[in-house]
């Protein structure tokens, strides 16, 4: 029997869904499953019993909590797709809106992280789901395999005063030789889960943490990390760092 699949979107940009549809393995995924609810491509109206539920987007409205619980009730397994569903995502930047990860409301069986999830990891994860296996994610941070790493130690001697290099300072990977932290640029690699194949770093930009944390809560990791290094006063006050992809628990 082909597994029945339900795909829903909460508050999102639909980028995870569009990435899903353009994956090389999407036709194979269609072939090997029976998608019973997927608003983007099907007319189906009701949530029904399903083997796998995949949720894109964060919870920002009351009505979504009801929908989410309904999906949980009908699904054998529920997975959070993308950074919005697993951490809160970009809407965390808003001070007036809630941007909750779905795990605040229902039990989840795993996540497919990234904003959007990197194609290879995404494809492999879907195949594992179809085969009724768990998703495997790296348990390491970015720095472990980073090509720029030169014995960087995280300590208060690291002075950070920028979150993005000035355009004219950007060099492509092959010309790059130094860890961003050495040049005063904030890289979130030390607390971010490996798995994106260094997409930003290869383009001369620091990691901004879209894959989420290796463990536990993103913001507490972030706060610990930022307290170890010497961040300029201006950046300490910049909301674009702390709330980039997740809100700290106390703000909820």
SS (H, E, C) the chain: CCCEEEEEECECCCHHHHHHHHCCCHHHHHHHCEEEEECCCCCCCCCCCEEEEEEECEECCHHHHHHHHHHHHHEEEEEEEHHHHHHCHHHHHCCCCCCECHHHCCCCCEEECCCCCCHHHHHHHHHHHHCCCCCCCCCCEHHHHCCCCCCCCCCCCCEECECCCCHHHCCCHHHCCCCHHHHCECCCHHHEECCCCCHHHHCCCCCCCCCCECCCCHHHHHHHHHHHCEECHHHHCCHHHHCCCCCCHHHC
Considering the rule CB under 6 A, would residue 222 count as an interface residue with ligand SF4? no
Considering the rule CB under 8 A, would residue 25 count as an interface residue with other proteins? no
State the minimum distance, in angstroms, from the CB of residue 115 to ligand SF4.
Answer: 3
Q: Which does 42 bind (CB under 5 to 8 A by kind): other proteins, ligand SF4, none?
A: other proteins
State the minimum distance, in angstroms, from the CB of residue 116 to other proteins.
Answer: 5
Per-residue binder mask for other proteins (CB under 8 A), 66-105, x = binder: -----------------------xxx-xxxxx--------
Q: Which is nearer to other proteins, 22 or 215 (CB)?
A: 22
Per-residue binder mask for ligand SF4 (CB under 6 A), 146-185, x = binder: x-xx--x--------------------------xxx----
Q: 160 - beta bridge partners? A: 231
CB 30: neighbour CB atoms within 10 A? 13
Residue written as tokens 């959007």? 116
Q: Which is nearer to ligand SF4, 131 or 174 (CB)?
A: 174
Considering the rule CB under 8 A, would residue 108 count as an interface residue with other proteins? no
Considering the rule CB under 6 A, would residue 116 count as an interface residue with ligand SF4? yes
Distances (CA, A) of 200 to 93, 205, 212, 235: 21, 5, 14, 21
Q: How many residues bind ligand SF4 (CB under 6 A)?
A: 28
Residue among 4, 5, 7, 9 that touches other proteins (CB under 8 A): 9
Considering the rule CB under 8 A, would residue 136 count as an interface residue with other proteins? no
Residue among 240, 249, 251, 252 that touches other proteins (CB under 8 A): 240
Q: What gap in Å lies between CA 128 and CA 116, rounded to an integer?
A: 19
Residue written as tokens 């006063």? 233
Q: Which does 119 bind (CB under 5 to 8 A by kind): ligand SF4, other proteins, none?
A: other proteins
Q: Note the residues at the interface with other proteins (CB under 8 A).
A: 9, 11-19, 21-22, 24, 27, 30, 39-43, 45, 60-61, 63, 89-91, 93-97, 115-116, 118-119, 163-164, 166-168, 170, 172, 199-200, 202-205, 208, 238-240
Which residues bind to ligand SF4, rule: CB under 6 A? 12-13, 15-16, 56-57, 82-84, 89-90, 115-116, 142-143, 146, 148-149, 152, 179-181, 187, 189-190, 201, 206-207
């Amino acid at each position: 029997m082909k597994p029945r699949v339900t795909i829903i979107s909460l508050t999102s940009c639909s980028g995870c869904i569009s990435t899903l549809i353009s994956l090389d393995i999407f036709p194979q995924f269609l072939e090997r499953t029976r998608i019973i609810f997927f608003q983007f491509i099907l007319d189906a109206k009701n949530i029904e019993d399903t083997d796998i539920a995949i949720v894109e987007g964060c919870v920002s409205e009351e009505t979504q909590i009801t929908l989410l619980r309904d999906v949980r009730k009908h699904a054998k397994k529920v997975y959070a797709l993308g950074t919005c569903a697993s951490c809160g995502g970009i809407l965390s930047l808003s001070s007036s809106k809630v941007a909750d990860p779905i795990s605040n409301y229902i039990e989840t069986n795993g996540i497919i992280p990234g904003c959007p999830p990197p194609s290879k990891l995404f494809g492999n994860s879907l195949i594992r789901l179809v085969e009724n296996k768990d998703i495997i994610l790296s348990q390491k941070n970015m720095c472990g395999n980073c090509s720029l790493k030169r014995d960087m130690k995280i300590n208060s001697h690291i002075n950070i005063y920028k979150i993005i290099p000035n355009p004219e300072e950007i060099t492509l990977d092959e010309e790059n030789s130094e860890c961003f932290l050495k040049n005063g640029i904030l890289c979130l690699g030390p607390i971010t889960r490996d798995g994106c194949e260094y997409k930003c770093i290869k383009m001369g930009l620091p990691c901004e943490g879209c894959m989420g944390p290796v463990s536990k809560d993103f913001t507490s990791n972030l706060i610990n990390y930022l307290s170890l290094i010497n961040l300029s006063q201006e950046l300490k006050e910049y909301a674009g760092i702390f709330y980039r992809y997740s809100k700290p628990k106390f703000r909820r």
